[in-house]
């Protein structure tokens, strides 16, 4: 069996976001790069909003179990979590954080992961840094 390798190809990046004056803003970035907001005056202000991306090499067409695990490390006034449609594999429609799919026919698979960040008025202004982590776990035999 061909060994499996995983490489982080792109970190998730929400770009520049508006912090609400009251209430909270919920920003969703899907694995397909679709963006949405809910709350008061919430908007993506600029910069590239990019889903996280992982590159895998594995035996072509062999079944792989993919699971994304999210850890929140956002500063006070913010919270980070998985997007409702969390993961897209090899360009397929976004789905859950756990999927079983065959490795791509060329022996290389691309996994994209979205995320959600909630911002409240006490979130630090001008903050630029990590808000959490996304770990990809694979079971392959």
The total number of residues shown for the chain amounts to 141
> CA separation (Å) from 104 to 81, 122, 134?
28, 44, 22
Q: Residue range 79-92: average pLDDT?
A: 95
Q: Residue range 102-109: average pLDDT?
A: 92
Sheet containing 52-57: give its strands across. Answer: 5-10, 52-57, 108-113, 87-89
C-beta separation of 62 from 103 below 8 A: yes
**C-alpha R_g of the chain:** 16
C-beta separation of 15 from 44 below 8 A: yes
Report angle CA 106, 136, 132 to the nearest 5 degrees. Answer: 140
Q: What is the per-residue pLDDT for 1?
A: 60
CA separation for the pair 83, 128 (Å, rounded): 20
Cβ count within 10 A of residue 124: 14
Return mean pLDDT, the chain.
92
Domain boundaries, the chain: 5-140
pTM for the whole structure: 0.91
CA separation for the pair 70, 132 (Å, rounded): 7
Which residues are within 8 A (CB) of 51 and not within 5 positions of it... i.e. 6 or more apart? 10, 12, 29, 30, 31, 32, 33, 88, 112, 113, 114, 115
CATH topology classification for 5-140: Immunoglobulin-like (2.60.40)
Does residue 46 or residue 133 have the better pLDDT?
133
Q: What is the per-residue pLDDT for 128?
A: 86
CA separation for the pair 14, 48 (Å, rounded): 7
């Amino acid at each position: 069996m061909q060994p499996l390798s995983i490489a982080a190809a792109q970190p998730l990046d929400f770009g520049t976001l508006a912090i609400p004056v009251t209430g909270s803003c919920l920003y969703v970035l899907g694995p397909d790069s679709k963006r949405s907001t809910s709350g008061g005056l919430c908007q993506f202000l600029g910069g590239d909003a990019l889903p996280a991306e992982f590159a895998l090499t594995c035996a072509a067409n062999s079944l792989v179990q993919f699971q994304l695990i999210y850890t929140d490390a956002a500063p006070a006034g913010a919270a980070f979590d998985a997007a409702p449609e969390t993961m897209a594999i090899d360009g397929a429609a976004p789905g859950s954080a756990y999927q079983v799919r065959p490795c791509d026919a060329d022996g290389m698979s691309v996994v994209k992961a979205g995320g959600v960040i909630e911002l409240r008025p006490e979130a630090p202004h001008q903050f630029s840094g990590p808000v959490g982590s996304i770990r990809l776990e694979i079971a392959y035999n």
